[in-house]
Structure 1
């Protein structure tokens, strides 16, 4: 799928220009025109300034993405600030709680080719704001018809590479998802994760248990990894999951939440009986979430009103913001079926 995210800290407004320059660099690497690089720079500066001024600091999650053989740029801001009680009102030009022109959110939305926002107030866990933006060359955003998919993958602090990986394969009405967590962290973990993704993309995706077995065989000679494979049949409203190790996941639809069962072991080294489990996914609002153990397991979608209706990358970013353990690679992969 996409590369890992760069985690860009914005503790105060003095870091906003540094964030802008980093975004400009990635935009140019994506082959953006000068005009599109300018849009990316404006969005980055507004997002960084917003989290610094209104939230007391936060982070930008930055990476290049690919769709329809074109490279785009994804930028997500996350903070734990007070949030916005009325997002629609705050989006209006001229609205500001800081004494500025108040054009920030409106400018971001106008320049973005894809945009979403989630904000939550109050003393309960989960408060803060997250903004999702994607920019595409020539403003030509791809059109998704059946499901949206998003992810966040961030390396352990001080590491330059991520030992987690994600991969997605489409086959008719079935979307196959993989999250892999290479044992440990650093280059050796990254090599194991990359090997698992390559086997997954070349192997049989009609059966998660067969995919898991192929990955297990393909990781011999590597450090090994935890893996979770989910086949989501959007037409049949069912999901089949097979896991080795501690990749966690769930499917939420129609008010029901079903958490996945994974078997003990390390793919590539020791794995007992590899099994797959079938979960019904009927009902509106299907959301599927897989994550590595760099994310804690004590989160609940109920903590975030209306979050399940947001873009999957935004869901992944908020779960990362509130669930990262801060001492390991951390990855969240999310699928949301479109109405």
Structure 2
């Protein structure tokens, strides 16, 4: 995923170019890439007109809904309130022609918005190959993530992965020590172990990672096994990585991670089991995200697209001095 600061009109072109590069990298042809360019331009322009500037995140995705490109526009402006009204051509609060949000909706396959009055705007847009079909509602993905390198770095030292099994899924977030290439080497080594040992329990996976990461600079890692049938999460973590269960009533359960660095110092690997009811959100994040957030401060956000949830948390709580990863999942058995 790439982040483009959009503070003035000179940065709109950069946002458009970046979006087109991502589209072509995933195999989009000229027509599909052109739609991505239109929407990226509108999103970036709206960040300036209505949000007082903000940030456009662009990346690829691959999940049960398919493969494609996603753009996430984030600002801390006044919000929108009535998005449906704002999407109608001719509606404007900035003296423009009022066709921007309508163009976004017409040229994309999925749009999700969180923009309460006075609390900023977050707009997620997704594209697949082929023309969008008006009125066709895309199914809701079960996982979404923000994964960004520290400003000035070309690679992200964090990594994450999710695999399904018969009763649910396993999830991992690895935060390589520091940032840059060597941090990425450590986190990618952790993901290789995760794929090889995905049938094992979280504690066993961490033990295997501890051995495999010895030649690297090490990492902070959390592993969660979400069992939908048994309504429980088995969690094991080493280092400054956060795991949170957000229940449907808004209550939050923090999961415990022990001190240490996987690959170097891990005095104790311990699994903890947490029960849940209903269909909670499971959120894992690296220490690039501050820990003082609470979804109860964002009424309705917990029911939005997982990537949109991750984006709002990133917007409001990124530390801004490290790689950052936020992974949001909803429960579903394979």
Task: Identify whether the pair has TM-score above 0.5, normalized to the shorter chain.
Answer: yes
1:266, 1:41 → 2: CA distance?
42
Deviation at 1:139, TM superposition (A): 5.0
Give the conservation status (yes or no) of the 8 Å contact 2:194–2:205. yes
Counterpart position of 2:276: 281
Deviations 1:270-319 (A, max 9, x none): 101211111112135x1111111111011110111110001110111111
Which residue does the alignment assign to 1:265?
A: 260
Partner SS state of residue 130, structure 2 = helix
Looking at structure 2, the residues matched to 100 and 204 of structure 1 have their Cα atoms a distance apart, in angstroms, of 53
Does structure 2 retain, via aligned residues, the 8 Å contact 1:68–1:142? no
Any stretches of 5+ residues in structure 1 without a counterpart?
Answer: none
1:312-331 matches, cutoff 5 A = 312-331=306-325
Q: 1:59 aligns with which of 55, 59, 63?
A: 55
Tell me which of 137, 143, 153 is aligned to 2:129: 137
Kept in 1: contact 2:283–2:328 (CA 8 A):
yes
Q: How does 1:82-231 map to 2 (within 5 A)?
A: 82-122=78-118, 127-138=119-130, 148-231=142-225
TM-score, normalised by the number of residues in structure 1: 0.92
- What SS is found at the alignment partner of 1:137? coil
Call closer, same or farther: CA 1:106–1:206 in 2, change over 3 Å.
Answer: farther
CA offsets per residue over residues 244-273 of structure 1, 9 Å max, x none?
Answer: 111112111132321100011100011012
Normalising by the residue count of structure 2, what TM-score does the alignment of the two structures yield? 0.93
Describe the superposition over 1:63-115 as per-residue Cα deviations: whole angstroms up to 9, x where unpaired. Answer: 12234796411111111111112223222222111111212112212222122
Give, in whole Å, the separation in 1 of the partners of 2:167 and 2:39. 35
What runs of 5+ residues in structure 2 fail to find an aligned partner?
Answer: none
DSSP-derived class of the 2:104 partner: helix
Worse-superposed segment, 61-70 or 168-177: 61-70
Check 1:84–1:69 CA distance in 2 against 1; reply closer, same or farther (3 A cut): closer
- Does 1:295 find its partner at 2:278? no
